[in-house]
Structure 1
Amino acid sequence: MTPSAEELLAIARLYWGADQAYAFRQEPSPEDLRYEALWEKKNAERPRWGSFVKALREALPSCDAWDYAPGLANPSFCVLVYPHQEQDMMRPQTSWTVAGYLSILAPLYTVHCVRRVFLGKHFMESKVFLGPIPMELQDIADTLARHIEAEYGATVLPLDVAQTPVPLYVNAMKPPETTLFHALFTSEPGNIF
């Protein structure tokens, strides 16, 4: 059962500040200390996550799958899945990434997509699709979701709950833009390559 938005906000408040009182201080905030301690504990699960990513590669032979772990930047483990695509350097190319995040704060996960457009090697634009998943990527997203659920027993966070605004500062996100998605998974869903 998915916790309510109020329950998730109470969890997120343990790890993210409601103000910027510690933004320019040398010492970490109480939230920072709890977040760092949680990550220290969760780092013991990295080998299991690595095995999960390896199993996902086998389940998705038409894709590349990679662990995406930017240290303490995200409150989640993440796997990035890249469907194999033909390239034509003379025309704009669309590149898709399917991202699966497993929160370390609650037994929840999310799957979203990022579309990037390139002309040759020149980046032109990027767009995040938090939901719904584009049809051509649905099988990949479903496979990723099934594997997270089977391996970790996590529940998908519904998009309407994920988009609930929260009065918290999560890395570069500030109220009123901050949502439960940012607090539980990543503050930069499009910043993946």
Structure 2
Amino acid sequence: MERWKAFLSDLQQALPGFTIGNVVTTADASLRCVAYPVTGTHLPPSNQVVVGCVSIVAPVYIIYGVEYERIGGARRHPRIDFEPLPPGMRFPADIMARKIEATFGVSALPREIAETPVPLFVEWKEPPHTTLFHALFTSEPGNLP
């Protein structure tokens, strides 16, 4: 975990207009981080976040975006965006991807492969609704702090 914590610190320095969060849980098959735009900057509104996942079961990673609706100040109804990400998410996603590759020596998992159905139960997902993404990273990509 020290290497992951050092990565998060490096990522924070590389993305000064963002708050970097650690989203590691015991239920996921990955280490996840999230980049939230700092409120009041020229960057996208805080209802758009970028998530980086490094699998702990295979030498791969994936970057995705999550867009939320704001309802009563709370984030609701997450919508997951894979490649290509919306324009406002591309800059932090590119930085995050380069840092993940340099730090962990892993390769990006293409969206087409990530969406491959797998006959596995992953947390609350079950076939035929589980994909390689769920098995290698998380069954709840929109569940973020």
The structure with the largest helix share of the pair is 1
Tell me, in whole angstroms, the C-alpha distance in 1 between the residues paired with 2:53 and 2:69: 23
Amino acid at match of 1:114: V
**Could you say what secondary structure the match of 1:73 adopts?**
coil
Match of 2:9 in 1: 54
Q: Is the 8 A contact 1:148 1:154 kept in 2?
A: yes
Contact 2:60 2:108 in 1 (8 A): yes
User: What residue is the counterpart of 1:64 in the other structure?
Assistant: 19
2:66 maps to: 114
Structure with greater proportional strand content: 2
Aligned to 1:173: 125
**Residues in 2 aligned to 1:167 and 1:82: alpha-carbon distance in whole angstroms:** 34
Larger Rg: 1 or 2?
1
Structure 2 residue runs without a partner (length 5+): none
Q: Letter of the aligned partner of 1:61 in structure 2?
A: P
- The RMSD of aligned alpha carbons is 1.6
The answer as to 2:78 corresponding to 1:126 is: yes
Whole-Å Cα distance in 1 between the matches of residues 75 and 114 of structure 2?
A: 29
1:98 is matched by which residue type in structure 2? V
2:112 is aligned with 1:160? yes
Q: How many residues align?
A: 142
In the alignment, what sits opposite 1:97?
49
* Contact 1:94–1:117 (CA under 8 A) maintained in structure 2: no
Q: Which residue of 2 aligns with 1:85?
A: 39
Tell me what 1:188 maps to.
Answer: 140
Give the structure-2-normalised TM-score. 0.92
Q: Normalising by structure 1, what TM-score?
A: 0.70
The residue that corresponds to 2:29 in the other structure is 75
**1:115 aligns to what SS in structure 2?**
strand
Aligned equivalents of 2:109, 2:122: Cα separation in 1: 18
Identity of aligned residues (%): 39
Superposed counterparts of 1:29-40, under 5 Å: none
Q: CA deviation at 1:120?
A: 4.1
